[in-house]
Amino acid sequence: MQLFGQMMYQPMLLSSLLERAARQYSGVEIVSRDAEGDIHRYTYRDCHTRSGQLAQALQAYGIKVGDRIGTLAWNGYRHMETYYGVSGIGGVCHTINPRLFPDQIAYIINHAQDRMVFFDASFAALVEQIAGQCPRVERWVMLCEKAPLPPSFSISVESYEDLIGGLDENFEWPHFDERLAAVLCYTSGTTGDPKGVLYSHRSLTLMAFSSALPDSLGLSAVETVAPVVPMFHVNAWGLPFSAPLVGAKLVFPGAKLDGESLHSLFEQEGVTLSAAVPTVWLGFVDYMRRSGKATQTFKRAIVGGAACPPQLAASMREVGVKAVHAWGMTEMSPLGTVCSRSHELAHAGEDEWARVSTKQGRALPGVELKIVGPDETELPWDGTSAGELMARGHWVADSYFGSDKSTLRDGWFPTGDIATIDPDGYMHITDRSKDVIKSGGEWISSIELENIALSHPDVESAACIGCAHPKWDERPLLVVVRREGSSLDAWQLLSFYSDKVAKWCIPDDVVFVPSLPLTATGKLQKVALRQKYGNHFVDSLGRT
């Protein structure tokens, strides 16, 4: 006979995270900088009260369990309230990436069947442009002060403060099944239409607990956390949930993410920890170097979304900030690994740790990883065998919104990344399967070649892509932005590789460009580069 434990059952609901923060850390601040640069300041208690008011407004209008509500907004307190107000009554907060093409945004809103959309004033023109394509949206709500709204609107728009104003300040959050959907986020759709990933209360709560641990993001009540990663893409890596969980102060940077704007905000608010993609940190370090400014409190930067080049980690160290490498993806809510010291490496010197910390790190408790070869056999954790990275765990998607087709292979989610895992469990992404360069039957890691280019003092940014080659199938081409004032040429840069990789891995050519295309989430847009330069070698060999 099975013998069950005799413990209370409490559903894991997101509302309970904020409710506890409002009691336990009631005076801890949430600071938001708006698009104009003005600072708004309130506390977890205020956030909880106003989220409850939003919940009542939605219920009064007839929003039901499972209904989707879209958001088009920067990181800020009203966006945080929609996270909690919508999900707290069983609705689904559908965060939309405003940097996508308007047609893609309309597609996503229609696919999700959003009943209402909340948007920041800076996206008013976008909303007017797409509203006609989204006939199912019943109400457009601008995240702004009370009406009157600008009379120029061509569609009917309400103000957020009108919507929630005057409602009861004491709202009792309903209890429901923890497996119900809470947040919906679409992948960027670099291949095909965007696909919706539907997170549950349970999955997000468990990720918040696990990600706060000392060897994960190391969050605590004494930290001041600035989520620079957008709340419109994969829950700002869960920080709007994990920060209230531990009672950390939150600082939302709004729309301005350049080095100077972030530095001044961090200094003013005493930010200790932040999280962003490498391109943001490149800008940050560049500003600190140019201005000669220091950081007083800011000591840890989570770097993820794309590989953290060793050179970036080294530059951050030089300015006094520790880069903490993390890996994940939309389908993983997104956190899969964080690179932190193992027991064996507790006292490793800086050089040794710098070498290990270029890896993406070890799986968070609650996530399992393995690597498999082309025939699906599991590969050893020896730090050299590279295979497709597979994941499973409490916050890994098993299918996409609106589809009952499983995304899993034999119970595991195929990540599309190629990785090695060493005997201590440190996972290292060598490439994305669609970016890996297949030359004469061998695989060349585009990330490794990019990292070498980035370690050259005259290179500002670099991308490496596989281009069609009549003899070798594909050969690597470097696309490079030089540092200002540099006259670096292709021969000089390619000679730089000679003592760093095998001869056959050295790129065949370099194209210098003024800037590199980025995706809506700030990553290198290699698809666009492949479209433009894919025939570089075919064309140039044809000419000779």
Q: Which residues are catalytic?
A: 187, 331, 438, 443
Is the Cβ–Cβ distance between 503 and 475 less than 8 Å? no
- Member of 187, 274, 279, 358 binding ligand ADP (CB under 6 A): 187
Nearer to ligand ADP among residue 11 and residue 416 (C-beta): 416
Question: Nearest distance from residue 289's CB to ligand ADP, in Å?
Answer: 23
Touching ligand ADP, residues 420-479 (CB under 6 A): 429, 432
Question: Nearest distance from residue 519's CB to ligand ADP, in Å?
Answer: 6
Q: Choose the binding region for ligand ADP from 80-88, 151-159, 282-290, 322-330 (rule: CB under 6 A).
A: 322-330
Count of residues engaged in binding ligand ADP, rule: CB under 6 A? 22
Is the Cβ–Cβ distance between 101 and 194 less than 8 Å? no
Query: Distance (Å, rounded) from C-alpha 381 to C-alpha 1?
Result: 39
Query: Distance (Å, rounded) from C-alpha 511 to C-alpha 69?
Result: 45
Tell whether residue 279 is a contact of ligand ADP (CB under 6 A).
Answer: no
Nearer to ligand ADP among residue 31 and residue 429 (C-beta): 429
What b/e readout covers 47-79, taking b as 16+ CB neighbours within 10 angstroms? bbbbbbbbbbbbbeeebeeebbbbbbbbbbbbb
Whose tokens are 């569609």? That residue is: 155
Q: Choose the binding region for ligand ADP from 35-43, 150-158, 298-306, 404-412 (rule: CB under 6 A).
A: 298-306
Strands (E), 395-440: 413-421, 427-432, 437-439
Find, among 143, 96, 106, 147, the residue nearest to 124 by Cα. Answer: 143
Cis peptide preceding 148, ω within 30 of 0: yes
Query: Distance (Å, rounded) from C-alpha 95 to C-alpha 449?
Result: 35
Tell whether residue 307 is a contact of ligand ADP (CB under 6 A).
Answer: yes
- Member of 305, 309, 366, 393 binding ligand ADP (CB under 6 A): 305
Question: Nearest distance from residue 340's CB to ligand ADP, in Å?
Answer: 14
Touching ligand ADP, residues 329-388 (CB under 6 A): 329-330, 334, 360
Q: Choose the binding region for ligand ADP from 186-194, 279-287, 466-474, 524-532 (rule: CB under 6 A).
A: 186-194
**DSSP secondary-structure letter at 471?**
T
- Member of 416, 448, 455, 481 binding ligand ADP (CB under 6 A): 416
Binding pattern to ligand ADP, positions 223-262, x when CB under 6 A? ----------------------------------------
Query: Distance (Å, rounded) from C-alpha 134 to C-alpha 130?
Result: 7
Question: Nearest distance from residue 391's CB to ligand ADP, in Å?
Answer: 10
Q: Choose the binding region for ligand ADP from 106-114, 217-225, 321-329, 401-409 (rule: CB under 6 A).
A: 321-329
Query: Distance (Å, rounded) from C-alpha 185 to C-alpha 188?
Result: 9
Whose tokens are 């060999």? That residue is: 541
Question: Nearest distance from residue 167's CB to ligand ADP, in Å?
Answer: 36
Question: Nearest distance from residue 447's CB to ligand ADP, in Å?
Answer: 7
The number of residues making up the chain comes to 544
Q: What letter represents residue 261's amino acid? A: S
CB-based contacts of 462, cutoff 8 Å, min separation 6: 450, 453, 454, 478, 479, 480, 481, 516
Is the Cβ–Cβ distance between 83 and 50 less than 8 Å? no
Is the Cβ–Cβ distance between 407 and 399 less than 8 Å? yes
Whose tokens are 């400014």? That residue is: 293
Tell whether residue 188 is a contact of ligand ADP (CB under 6 A).
Answer: yes
- Member of 55, 117, 131, 306 binding ligand ADP (CB under 6 A): 306
Interacting residues toward ligand ADP by CB under 6 A: 187-188, 190, 304-307, 325-330, 334, 360, 415-417, 429, 432, 521, 523
